[in-house]
């Protein structure tokens, strides 16, 4: 039997049992793809990552990311959490203040900045791909049915739109916190919408927030990928920042946002977003936050 050691880290939080839990296998060499998928299903977290040697020697590591159902080409909380574990395990060059590493994922090379405090990794920032804005969905009645809400709960001043910074999500703005809390996501009503639009999940947000300093209160549903609701979705947070900038949801000069997520699940998460833009064009997208190490263990496999 082979022992495969893993680490558990809560991502986008500074406290235990908050944020989004992640399993990181720092030695993914020799693990078959089918076994990686089975392990992710066994652990049943939103994502599990496997660290491998890079294909390009100019990069630091290759990272493969699996939900319980599928492999993803990129994801936010797995990237941030994996970088945290790599730093904590001294698998990257440590620094007094900060260091930047390059991780290979399915969408290409992802630069990740690790800021240190008292010799330990503190804030982790990943750079995401520049956004692409996809089709808009015009039938608000169908969206309302999917969310089990009345149509007037949807903020129709903003479009229901597909946005991607590597992975596509459908973005829906709701009018208030009460409506967002009341969502009962319907699998039967969502399947055709998600399939036809080619998106991973549905990201809901409102400008009304619970926590001081937050810009938006968010929820994300991705049932087709084995994640009914996600407590913190970094891969969807970069695009929501781009959406906020493109549609002028906040003052035009604003480039930094904070998304609170996971509160309805009892796993409060704080995700920082920075969207640099110039002359109406988005030039860089970064997503970051803190992590809390939770423990480690191993699996025995043949």
140 and 162 share one domain: yes
| Ranges of residues in the chain whose predicted pLDDT is under 50 | none
163 and 70 share one domain: no
**Phi, psi torsion values for 159, nearest 5 degrees:** -75, 150
Query: Which stretch of DSSP H or E encloses residue 271?
Result: strand 269-278
CATH of the domain at 117: 3.10.310.10
Domain residues for the domain of 157 are 132-288
Q: One of 33, 34, 47, 229 is an active-site residue; which one? A: 47
Residue 200 DSSP one-character state: S
283 and 294 share one domain: no
Count structural domains, the chain.
2
Q: Work out the number of other CB atoms within 10 angstroms of the CB of residue 134.
A: 16
150 and 263 share one domain: yes
149 and 280 share one domain: yes
The predicted structure's pLDDT at residue 224: 81
The predicted structure's pLDDT at residue 226: 87
141 and 255 share one domain: yes
The predicted structure's pLDDT at residue 36: 98
The predicted structure's pLDDT at residue 252: 75
* Dist CA 227 CA 231 (whole Å): 10
Residue 131 DSSP one-character state: P
199 and 144 share one domain: yes
Q: Which of 256, 254, 263, 221 is nearest to 238 (CA)?
A: 256
271 and 151 share one domain: yes
Q: Which of 169, 84, 156 is nearest to 124 (CA)?
A: 84
116 and 146 share one domain: no
State yes or no: is 47 an active-site residue: yes
**Phi, psi torsion values for 78, nearest 5 degrees:** -65, -35
Q: 176-210, pLDDT tens digit by residue?
A: 999 999 999 999 999 989 999 999 999 999 999 99
> What are 191's two structure tokens?
């399947």
Sign of CA dihedral 162, 163, 164, 170: negative
278 and 297 share one domain: no
59 and 118 share one domain: yes
143 and 281 share one domain: yes
């Amino acid at each position: 039997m082979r022992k495969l050691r893993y680490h558990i880290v809560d991502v986008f939080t500074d406290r235990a049992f908050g944020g989004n839990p992640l399993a990181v296998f720092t030695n993914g060499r020799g693990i078959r793809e089918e076994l990686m998928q089975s392990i992710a299903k066994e652990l049943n977290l939103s994502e599990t990552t496997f660290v491998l040697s890079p294909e390009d020697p100019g990069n630091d590591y290759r990272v493969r990311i699996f939900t319980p159902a599928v492999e993803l080409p990129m994801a936010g909380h797995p990237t941030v959490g994996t970088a945290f574990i790599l730093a904590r395990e001294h698998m990257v060059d440590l620094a007094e203040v900060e260091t930047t590493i390059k991780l290979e994922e399915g969408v290409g090379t992802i630069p990740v900045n690790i800021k240190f405090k008292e010799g330990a990794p503190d804030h982790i920032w990943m750079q995401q791909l520049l956004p692409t804005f996809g089709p808009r969905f015009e039938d608000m009645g169908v969206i309302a049915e999917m969310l089990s809400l009345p149509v007037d709960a949807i903020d129709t001043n903003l479009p229901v739109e597909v946005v991607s910074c590597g992975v596509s999500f459908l973005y829906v703005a709701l009018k208030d916190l009460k409506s967002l809390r009341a969502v009962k996501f319907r699998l039967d009503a969502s399947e055709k919408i998600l399939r036809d639009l080619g998106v991973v999940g549905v990201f809901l947000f409102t400008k009304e927030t619970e926590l001081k300093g937050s810009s938006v209160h968010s929820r994300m549903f991705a049932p087709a990928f084995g994640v009914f609701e996600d407590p913190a979705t970094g891969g969807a947070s970069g695009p929501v920042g781009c959406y906020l900038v493109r549609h002028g949801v906040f003052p035009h000069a604003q480039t930094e946002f904070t998304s609170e997520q996971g509160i309805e699940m009892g796993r409060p998460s704080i995700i920082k977003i920075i969207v640099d833009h110039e002359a109406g064009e988005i030039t860089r997208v970064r997503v970051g936050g803190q992590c809390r190490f939770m423990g480690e263990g191993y699996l025995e496999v043949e």
